[in-house]
Amino acid sequence: MTGGICPQCRNDTTIIPLESLDLIRICITEQCVIPKVCATCGLPTSRVVTFKRRRPSPQNDDDSPVLWYLGFGIIGLLFSTLFRRANSSKVRIQVPHCRQCHAEKPLEPRSVAFDELLMEFVVHREFAKQFDAVNGF
- pLDDT value at residue 44: 96
- Pick out the chain residues at pLDDT < 50: 1, 18, 60-61, 63, 68-69, 85-86
What pTM, to 2 d.p., does this model score? 0.64
- pLDDT value at residue 100: 94
- pLDDT value at residue 132: 94
- pLDDT value at residue 99: 94
Instruction: Report d(CA 34, CA 133) in Å as an integer.
Output: 10
CA–centroid distance for 118 within its chain: 6
Note whether 99 and 4 are within 8 A (CB): no
Helix (H) or strand (E) holding 134: helix 125-135
Note whether 98 and 87 are within 8 A (CB): no
- pLDDT value at residue 88: 53
